[in-house]
Structure 1
Amino acid sequence: EKDAITINFFNEYFKGIDLCNIAEIMDMAQDLMGLKFDDKAYIALMLHTAIAVKRINDNDCISADDIKLKNLKNSIEFNIARIIASRLEKHFNISVSKPEIGYIALHLMSSRARHIESTEDADQSMDKVEEGMLDFITDAVEKFESLLNVNLQNDMELQHGLLSHLVGMYKRYSLGVQQANPLKDEIMKQFPLIFSIAKNIFTGFGQRFHIEIDEDEIGYITMYFAAAVERASNKKIKRVYAVCPTGVGGAQLLMANLKSKFPNIRVIKCMSMIDAETIDNAKADAIISTVELNNKNIPVIVVSPFILEKDMEKITDVLSVRSEHQSYDFSLGKIYGQDISGFISMISDAAIFIEKVVRVLGISISNETYMGLVIHILLQICRGEHSSIPLSMNAYKEDHVSYEIRKAFKDLEAKYKFKVSDYDVFAVRSYLIGKESNADE
């Protein structure tokens, strides 16, 4: 069901773009390169190509200044990218510029870099570079462990992911090509400590391999370590007994709230007060109860079945686990796979917000505007409290449209703990401006 929601979401966003045709072109690219992309590379190339087609259709083409083509033109990947571009032009009736071809070539190079580990005839000098990179990654992981007090040594996903990224970065640098990171500012905001550590450690990587690592690359590296830290924290599962003598309903409420607010807590069993006061079980880290009780063998945490803020603090203090819902902080880690149910809930809430505004204003909007608004609202929620935005608001005046938008934002503000600024209202209003007349057509 979740996969269906995601597929429908992307099908709507890429409406009019036949993803099956793009998949066929990707298969052709694999044959021409003589390799098979892994899942991540295949999906990344698919999405980039679909976004490029949509951008070209919207007359939002990148300029020649956005990419250095000089060192790319003689590469095999650039020639294959030209073939891909030719197929795209034929299928979608568009004109693909050289900068767009260059970006496709970069993604092909990245895909080839992922494949290097399993290629028998890999260049020996590159093998030595990779060996040096693995040594550096091992040292970097140890430093992160020491500074963050977390165990990352056995995280093969971290090591393989970093190696793949660093090999691709090394090749891009050798071609004189830089890759911007559109999420850099958000990453620095969400993971300031990890970003700072990564910047300090990987400055040494740049010196060792004679390449320049800018903050865009540090941002990508930060994401690998942030995901690894999240995985490590998720492994620290605490096992508890639950006690709620008010009946089955109260017990179910307690367990549901524990599951929702503390994903790292597992309720072994729901038991009576009498059993809870006499049990001596080393398998349990604590007893979480809605009533006072005595047990000298296992810590007892007394809470409300609703698990209020003060209750979450008690549980955190005793069990050293983090609550996922104290401030509804949807970090990048959660959005990209760690809390997909929460992300789907955000999409639903954004849709409700839009429908409420559209209904009150008596307007109709296109599917494209609807999808744009959904994405915009999600980004607003994820940004949280806004910093100053470089936009003059002198000409902004509150009218009935802005008033209804601000009013509809109240529920989102309360649930996701962020403050709506004049700019937020202005941005949503910009999506809707001129749409009111549609209701009369």
Structure 2
Amino acid sequence: MKRKLAEFDLKLGKKAGYGVKILGTELHVRFCFSHYLLTESRSLLISEAELSFFKEVDLEGIQRIVARSVSIYEIHMTDIALKNLIIHIAIAICRIRDDCYVAADELLNIEFNMQELRASQTMIREIEAQECVVFPETELSYLLLHLSAKHIATDYDDYREFILVNKMLERIQKRYGYALSDDQVLISNLILHLKPAINRIKFQMNIQNPYLPNLKQNHPLAFEFGLTAKDVLEEELGMKVNEAEAGYLAIHLLYAMDKVQESVKKRVLIVCASGLGTSQLLQSKVRKAFAEELEIIGVYSFHEYESRPVACDFVIATVPLRHQSHPYVQVSPFLMKSDMRAIEAMLGSGSPFQIESVFSESLFVVSEKDWDKERILRELARLLMNQGYVDEGYLPSIFERELVVPTFLGNGLATPHPIQADVARTAIAVCVCEAPALWNEEDCAQVVFMLAVKNKEQSQLTTTYELISDIVENPKVMRQLKAIRDFDGFMHILTGLSLK
């Protein structure tokens, strides 16, 4: 109980002859109250349990008041946020009836706009009449805090959030090599997200993020970007930012990353000298075979190509080109297998990811039964350092990253990695645990992948995390990996996964 209360800056006080009492500010008591109440209920509708719990409060009447007010004053909220607001109001009513009020100095410097203030005032007037309770001025501020922290902004008018977002994206580019600073949609979305988020952060409001497990398991790289953005917020605001906020930032960044992946296609021109039929046939076959890698920007005849300059990455031609203003590959209109290999060679840096290039027997170890998390981290980092993959700064950065959020992904897999370190070449050190190792307060790791990804190698970074995502979301593969005790068997399982 002490540990759970400490998460909300609350303590358990004891006095002989009287018993025990929760000590702390009223604001933190309510945050604790709402956390456990809302964690129990994932429903967007008011549940029977909540109606029973708040039997002295007309929850459905409050729901009607809140829905009407946010509609009149055009307050945009998610369904989850609306339900949370109703529960917070119900908690406030119960506490006021017990003469427990939020102090004025607990709610200084709330950031809000006039529509939020007017909506809060309207709600309170109607709730006071319905519940026969009087809200003091500080309770208006309490309601305003929750409303402003849940209101989805639709415009912005100052530069604070703009500066914060730029710093986030600069840090992501410096650390991971992903250039997202030109994505105006992403910048706008992050700025609008930060406006209510800053109130949540400032007052350490607990929010639930039901998408966290999915993000960690299926999109670990995007989650790392979210944690990097979280670092910037903590530095700039001087306040702790929770994991749930990092997850919501990661969702915005994941959308932007998907667009980056779509935009890295090579732009190619097809030059065909034998008429419309063959040019259409070749175009169709190239598009079908290389849909993910190539964007066909035009189909030219031999003479059109020579007389009309055009910008592209390379040319696919059915005839030799005299004026080689671009790299080109000569193919048959029927696109034979040898032609496809020639195009793949032209793609160059887009060569297929080889599992054998990142795993090696010299970086594979089976733990002893008494190895704990720290011992595993030290052993794997030692293997990487002794073989020249990383330097002395690698292990301290590994421990630093674990302090931010433990790197347990799920299904018994943990992927420790540094916040930032110099890596000579990409590799993954592996430990299969003889006995499960406690990785955080409740999860045990049985397979550990320690990642060393060469700095700013975006393609390697993306492919490595995609491989990890494929492994962790496949329970059958994870069961096999937990049971394996030799490197050849380990590679046989991973190779089988990569061929599917």
Give the TM-score band, short-chain normalised: 0.3 to 0.5
Higher share in helix: 1
- Which protein has the larger Cα radius of gyration, Structure 1 or Structure 2? 2
- TM-score between both structures, scaled by the size of structure 2: 0.39
- TM-score between both structures, scaled by the size of structure 1: 0.43
Higher share in strand: 2
